[in-house]
Chains A and B, each alone.
Chain A
Amino acid sequence: MGFFNRVAWRPTVDREVEDELAFHLDMRTREYIERGMDPAAARREAELRFGDARRMRAALEHLGQGRNRHMQRTEYFSELRQDIGFAWRQLARNPGFTAVAVLTLALGIGGTTAIFSAVYAVVLQPLPIADPARLMVVAEIFEGAPSQVSAGNYTDAAAGVTAFDGMSALRFSSFNLSEGTTPERIIGGHTTANYFEVMGVKPLLGRTYTPLEDQPGSERVAVLSHRLWTRRFGASPSIVGSAIRLGGVSYTVLGVMPQSFDLTTESEELWAPIAFTPAQKVLHDEHYLTVYGRLKPGATRAQAEQQLEAVAVRLRRDFSHDASQLRYTLTPFVQEFVGDYDTRLFVLLAAVGVVLLIACGNVANLLLARGAARAREIAVRSALGAGQWRIVRQLLTESAVLALAAAGAGLLLAHWFIVAVVAWSPQGVPRLEQARIDPLALGVAVLLAAFSSVVCGLAPALRLARTDIHPGLRDGGRGATGGSFRDRLRGSLIAAEVALSLLLLFGAGLLIRSAIALQRVNPGFDPHGVISARVALPQAAYGDPSRIVDTFERMAADTAAIPGVSHAALSSFAAMAPGGNTNGLLPDDGRPFDMKNLVPSRLRIITPDFFQTMRIPILRGRGFDANDRRDGQRVMIVSEALAAHIFPGQDPIGKRIGCCEQTADQKPVWKIVVGIAGDVRSSGPATAPRPEFYLPIAQAPDEAWNWLQRVMYVVARTDGDTAALVSPLRAMVARVDPALPLYDVRPMDQRLAGTLETARFNTLLLSLLGGVGLLLAASGIYGVIAYFVSQRTQEIGVRIALGASTASVVRLILVQAMRPVALGAAIGVAAALAASRVLASQLFNVSRTDPVTIGAVVAALVGVALAASAVPARRAAAVDPTRALQSE
Chain B
Amino acid sequence: MTNPSPELLHGTLDTLVLKTLAGGRLHGYGIARAIEDGTDRVVDVEEGSLYPALYRMEKKGWIEAEWGVSELGRRAKFYRLTSRGRRQLAAQTAEWARFAGAVSRILLAT
Contact = CB atoms under 8 A, between A and B. Distances in A.
Interface of A: 11, 16, 19-21, 23-24, 26-28, 31, 45, 49-51, 56, 59-60, 63-64, 66-67, 70-71, 74
A55 B75 CA distance: 24
Interface in B63-108: 67, 70, 74-77
A49 B1 contact: yes
Given A24-B28, A63-B52, A64-B55, A19 B47 contact: no
Given A45-B1, A67-B59, A71-B59, A21 B77 contact: no
Contacts of A66: 59
Interface string B38-60: 00000000111001100110110
Contact of B29 (A27, A67, A74): A27
A27 B27 CA distance: 11
6 contacts: A20-B28, A20-B51, A23-B29, A24-B27, A70-B59, A71-B59
A71 B62 CA distance: 12
A23 B47 contact: no
Contacts of B27: 20, 23-24
A24 B46 CA distance: 12
Nearest to B48: A51
A27 B55 CA distance: 20
B1 A60 contact: no
Q: How large is the interface on B (under 10, 10 to 19, 20 to 34, 35 or more residues)?
A: 20 to 34
B29 A24 contact: yes
A19 B48 contact: no
B80 to A, nearest CB: 15
A267 to B, nearest CB: 63
Contacts of A28: 29
Contacts, number: 58
A20 B77 contact: yes
B47 A60 contact: no
Contacts of B51: 20-21, 24, 56, 60
Residue in B46, B51, B61 whose Cβ sees the most chain A Cβ within 10 Å: B51
Contacts of B61: 74
Nearest to A64: B55
Given A23-B28, A24-B51, 8 more contacts: A20-B27, A23-B27, A24-B29, A24-B32, A50-B47, A59-B52, A64-B55, A67-B55
Nearest to B53: A63
A67 B54 CA distance: 11
Contacts of A23: 27-29, 70, 74-77
Nearest to B77: A20
Nearest to A63: B55
Contacts of B28: 20, 23-24
Contacts of B47: 21, 24, 49-51, 56
A370 to B, nearest CB: 37
Given A19-B75, A63-B56, A63-B59, A56 B48 contact: yes
Contacts of B46: 49, 51
A70 B47 CA distance: 24
B66 to A, nearest CB: 9
Q: Is the interface of B mostly helix, strand, loop or mixed?
A: helix
Contacts of B48: 50-51, 56
A759 to B, nearest CB: 66
Nearest to B70: A23
A70 B32 CA distance: 26
Contacts of A24: 27-29, 32, 47, 51
Interface string B16-31: 0000000000011100
A813 B59 CA distance: 61
A31 B55 contact: no
A11 B65 CA distance: 12
Interface in B1-37: 1, 27-29, 32-33
**Chain A interface, >50% SS class:** helix
Given A51-B47, A60-B51, A19 B77 contact: yes
Contacts of B52: 59-60, 63
Nearest to B59: A67
Nearest to A17: B51
Contact of B77 (A16, A49, A59, A74): A16
Per CB-CB distance, the 9 closest pairs between chain A and chain B, nearest first, are A67-B59, A63-B55, A27-B29, A24-B29, A20-B77, A23-B76, A70-B59, A51-B48, A50-B47
Contacts of B76: 20, 23
A386 to B, nearest CB: 23
A21 B59 CA distance: 19
B77 A67 contact: no
Contacts of B58: 67
B33 A31 contact: yes
Contacts of A67: 55-56, 58-59
Contacts of A31: 33
Nearest to A59: B52
A11 B77 CA distance: 11
Q: Which of B51, B52, B55, B74 has the most CB of A within 10 A?
A: B55
B29 to A, nearest CB: 4
Nearest to B32: A24
Contacts of A60: 51-52, 55
A36 to B, nearest CB: 14
B25 to A, nearest CB: 14
A26 B52 CA distance: 19
A27 B31 CA distance: 12
A692 to B, nearest CB: 87
B83 to A, nearest CB: 14
B57 to A, nearest CB: 10
Contacts of B29: 23-24, 27-28
A66 B55 CA distance: 9
A70 B56 CA distance: 11
B6 to A, nearest CB: 18
A51 B56 CA distance: 20
Contacts of A27: 29
A785 to B, nearest CB: 53
Nearest to B51: A60
B58 to A, nearest CB: 5
A74 B82 CA distance: 15
A867 B32 CA distance: 80
Contacts of A11: 67
A49 B3 CA distance: 12
A26 B70 CA distance: 12
Contacts of A63: 52, 55-56, 59
Contacts of A49: 1, 46-47
Contacts of B32: 24
A24 B75 CA distance: 11
Contacts of B74: 23, 26
A11 to B, nearest CB: 8
Nearest to B56: A63
A63 B56 CA distance: 7
A332 B48 CA distance: 73
A27 B77 CA distance: 13
Q: Name, among A16, A60, A67, A70, the residue most crowded by chain B CB atoms within 10 Å (CB to CB).
A: A67
Nearest to A74: B61
A67 to B, nearest CB: 4
Nearest to A32: B1
A27 B30 CA distance: 9
A107 B46 CA distance: 66
B54 to A, nearest CB: 9
Chain A CB count within 10 A is highest, among B1, B46, B47, B75, for B47
A45 B2 CA distance: 11
Contacts of B75: 19, 23
Nearest to B50: A24
A32 to B, nearest CB: 9
A260 B88 CA distance: 61
A50 B59 CA distance: 23
A67 B27 CA distance: 18
B3 to A, nearest CB: 13
A398 B27 CA distance: 43
A30 to B, nearest CB: 8
Nearest to A49: B1
